[in-house]
Amino acid sequence: MAAAAVFSYRIFCPIRCSAASNNHDPNKQKLNNISYSGNSTRSTKVDLHSQTTGVASTFVASVAAEKEGCRINEVQIRQNIPTKKQFVDPYRHGLIIEGGVGYRQTVVVRSYEVGPDKTATLESILNLFQETALNHVWMSGLLSNGFGATHGMMRNNLIWVVSRMQVEIDHYPIWGEVVEIDTWVGASGKNGMRRDWLIRSQATGHIFARATSTWVMMNQQTRRLSKIPAEVRAEISPWFIDKQAIIEDVPEKISKLDDTAKYVNSDLKPKRSDLDMNHHVNNVKYVKWMLETIPDRILESNQLSGITLEYRRECGGSDVVQSLCQPDEDGILKDGVKQDTASIRLLNGFSLASEIVDGGGLIASFEKGPLRFTHLLQAKGETQNEEIVRGRTTWKKKPSSMPFST
């Protein structure tokens, strides 16, 4: 057996092992007095020295283990994943909340995360959701070397896969705004886990968006769904919270589209940059493919206020994808327009508003309420197409002025 390679480094990391090392650095002294505050009435002050020392102990333990004959590889040293629960992460601006089991991260909306209207894009928001979820597991001390997988999951060759996700957006953060993202987990049935998120403005306390998702475990080799092993349940169940960002009494089913859909975008091919650490297309890419089928005239005057996704299968780098989109005309009228017998007529079995029948057109009726579209991404096969994800999007008129402005 070949001997494992041993690496040696000069360490220049800002790890503090004693209070004396900070006496002459005013910037480091300020870190110890940092205060994290949300929309609550009280501020939580945390001594970062004690917390950072806990993170540094991971590296110290690694060095000690190597002296005892264990081989620590370069990746482990560079990542420095905590081996025990941390309450503050000064590098990620993260903080454990909710009695020690929830997570809050403070971020600034950057220029590359916004669109032409200087507000954060949906893709940026979804990426922030994913990042805060991974950082939550990072701070728990349970993270192994997988994509959010715990130590028990890695021993059982398991990974997390999302089965359903729902996002509701009231307002979009603007460029340069500081926002707080809270996330927490809970049980979902016998073999699932629910993860929720909430985004608020740090300056005003207004809640911008809420999201909820359902996750299940998959065997990384067989690609089949798996029950949660007892040792994994023992790891994650102490972190469960009986709290939901979005409450659905009965989740609404999304109908399947076919090739007769009004808008179709074919021959979409994943790029290498679209693949994540599990070697399949990242979930955020699915949303991009879906939104590209929305007509420009809708995007110019409307913004997305809600999206629901039902995941069916993985999408690999060799798949050729087709994106289908159908306006939910009946749903628009039913949900967005107040119904009365004088303004509704029947035409070929469908309920139509008077603007349509009287010549105002479909767009005229859209002005009265939200627009809804049904989506489908499918992998094109030689004999039949396979569903990747079903989706539903809801759109509302763009505000005429900046929200919360005086």
Cα-flanking dihedrals φ and ψ of residue 190, to 5°? -85, -30
156 catalytic? Reply is no
Which DSSP helix (H) or strand (E) runs through 299?
helix 296-301
**Contact 300/236 with Cβ under 8 angstroms?**
no
Give DSSP secondary structure letters for 201-221. Answer: ETTT--EEEEEEEEEEEEETT
Task: Provide the token pair at 153.
Answer: 């999951």
The backbone region for 261, taken as left when phi is positive above 0, alpha when psi lies in -120 to 50, beta otherwise, is beta
Which position among 49, 136, 171, 280 bears the catalytic label?
280
Which position among 283, 315, 325, 375 bears the catalytic label?
315
**How far is CA 390 from each of CA 123, 236, 268, 382, rounded to the nearest angstrom?**
17, 29, 16, 21
120, 196, 200, 210: which is closest to 162 by C-alpha? Answer: 196
The backbone region for 148, taken as left when phi is positive above 0, alpha when psi lies in -120 to 50, beta otherwise, is left
278 catalytic? Reply is yes
* DSSP reduced 3-state for 68: coil
70 catalytic? Reply is no
CA 332 to centroid of chain Cα atoms = 27
What is the C-alpha to C-alpha distance for residues 137 and 82, in angstroms, rounded to an integer? Answer: 10
**How far is CA 295 from each of CA 264, 300, 337, 346, rounded to the nearest angstrom?**
11, 9, 22, 27
Task: Provide the token pair at 79.
Answer: 């990542």
Task: Provide the token pair at 33.
Answer: 């007095």
SS3 letters across 336-358 = HCCCCCCCEEEECCEEEEHHHHC
Write the CB contacts of 143 (distance below 8 Å, at least 6 apart in sequence).
81, 82, 134, 137, 149, 150
First-last CA distance in the chain: 71
SS3 letters across 97-159 = EHHHCEEEEEEECCHHHECCCCEECHHHHHHHHHHHHHHHHHHHCCECCCCCCEHHHHHCCEE
Indicate the burial class of 267 (C-beta count within 10 angstroms; 0-12, 13-18, 19 or more): exposed
Point out the residues that are catalytic.
278, 280, 315
